[in-house]
């Protein structure tokens, strides 16, 4: 299993605080059958800035430690960048790190809103040759309120990634229900941990994939597994035609 979203690099954001914490996270990941993790430290989120060169250095150092400890997990470089007006310049300047040096680039929205310029920025990222992946849209209050907004982003070429813990119900029933709606409507393409530690924000990948299989069948189960591999390899991922989510249906009003 591959995890494309994880805060496992030590001491650089709100994820693993020390190398000991990073190794403990890697051990937990391996116990769940995860053999490859893309490290995605926060960037430009108002608190943390982690540029591409530093992320690559930290990734190499952690891989050396994992080999010394015989933990069978490989770390690949990535980044979770809060959407901002300088993203295209930062791509050109080598500040932004795509996922494993592929065409795929994480884009995070503030939890309570979607900036007005998001549509244009997602378009500009694609013009620059990258495919934006909107992370954890199921936890964005504006998208929950206006799911048609996400539909438009996906229809115009963006991809999305749902958090494993959301699908498994760790963030509450409403977010779990909305996560299932995103899967059903072909509005999400990846399932990843967004793990920050081994306790309050662990991997939950086995539980989430079990939920995915139970509720959406083998086809969805294998599609999401395969998409993470395709992403790491820099290949086109599986995606079906997106459908709109009826807000009334989500809120259970009919």
| Nearest to 29, CA basis, from 194, 236, 251 | 194
The CATH number of residue 20's host domain is 3.20.20.140
Residue 2 pairs in a beta bridge with 36
Taking the C-alpha atoms of residue 202 and residue 29, their distance in angstroms, rounded to an integer, is 9
Whole-number Cα distances in Å, 10 to 62, 95, 125: 8, 20, 29
Domains in the chain: how many in total? 1
Q: Can you give the pLDDT at residue 248?
A: 52
| Nearest to 162, CA basis, from 209, 112, 216 | 209
Does the pLDDT value for residue 38 go beyond 60? yes
Please state whether the predicted TM-score (pTM) of the whole model is above 0.75: yes
Q: Can you give the pLDDT at residue 232?
A: 98
29-33, 134-138, 194-198, 248-252: range with lowest mean pLDDT: 248-252
| Nearest to 131, CA basis, from 100, 91, 98, 155 | 98
Taking the C-alpha atoms of residue 94 and residue 96, their distance in angstroms, rounded to an integer, is 6
Looking at every residue in the chain, the average pLDDT score rounds to 95
Does the pLDDT value for residue 4 go beyond 60? yes
16-20, 79-83, 209-213, 242-246: range with lowest mean pLDDT: 242-246
Does the pLDDT value for residue 254 go beyond 50? no
Q: Can you give the pLDDT at residue 46?
A: 85
Does the pLDDT value for residue 33 go beyond 80? yes
Residue 99 pairs in a beta bridge with none
- Mean pLDDT for 13-36 is 97
Does the pLDDT value for residue 203 go beyond 80? yes
Does the pLDDT value for residue 185 go beyond 80? yes
What confidence category does residue 118 fall into, taking pLDDT thresholds of 50, 70 and 90? very high
- Mean pLDDT for 116-142 is 97
The share of the chain scoring above pLDDT 90, in percent, equals 95
Given a contact cutoff of 8 angstroms between Cβ atoms, the answer to whether 230 and 190 are in contact is no
- Mean pLDDT for 238-245 is 94
pLDDT single digits (tens) 132-175: 999 999 999 999 999 999 999 999 999 999 999 999 999 999 99
Does the pLDDT value for residue 253 go beyond 50? no
Q: Which domain holds residue 214?
A: 2-251
pLDDT single digits (tens) 50-107: 999 999 999 999 999 999 999 999 999 999 999 999 999 999 999 999 999 999 999 9
Enumerate residues 6+ apart whose C-beta is below 8 A from 116.
none
Does the pLDDT value for residue 243 go beyond 50? yes
Taking the C-alpha atoms of residue 72 and residue 31, their distance in angstroms, rounded to an integer, is 10
């Amino acid at each position: 299993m591959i995890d494309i979203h994880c805060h496992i690099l030590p001491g650089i954001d709100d994820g693993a605080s020390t190398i000991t914490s990073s190794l403990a996270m890697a051990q937990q990941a391996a116990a769940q059958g995860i053999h490859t993790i893309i490290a995605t430290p926060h960037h430009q989120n108002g608190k943390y800035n982690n540029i591409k060169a530093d992320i690559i250095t930290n990734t190499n150092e952690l891989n050396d430690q994992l080999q010394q400890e015989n933990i069978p997990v490989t770390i690949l470089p990535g980044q979770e960048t809060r959407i901002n007006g300088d993203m295209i310049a930062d791509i050109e300047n080598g500040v932004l790190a795509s996922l494993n040096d592929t065409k795929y680039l994480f884009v995070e929205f503030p939890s309570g809103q979607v900036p007005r310029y998001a549509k244009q920025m997602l378009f500009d990222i694609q013009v620059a040759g990258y495919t934006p992946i909107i992370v954890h849209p199921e936890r964005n209050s504006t998208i929950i309120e206006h799911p048609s907004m996400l539909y438009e982003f996906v229809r115009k070429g963006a991809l999305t990634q749902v958090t494993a813990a959301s699908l498994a119900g760790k963030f509450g029933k409403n977010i779990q229900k909305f996560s299932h709606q995103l899967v059903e409507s072909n509005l999400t393409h990846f399932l990843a941990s967004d793990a920050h530690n081994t306790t309050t924000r662990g991997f939950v990948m086995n539980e989430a994939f079990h939920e995915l299989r139970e509720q959406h069948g083998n086809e969805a189960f294998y599609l999401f597994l395969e998409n993470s591999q395709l992403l790491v390899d820099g290949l086109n991922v599986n995606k079906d035609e997106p459908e709109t989510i009826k807000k009334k249906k989500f809120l259970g009003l009919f």
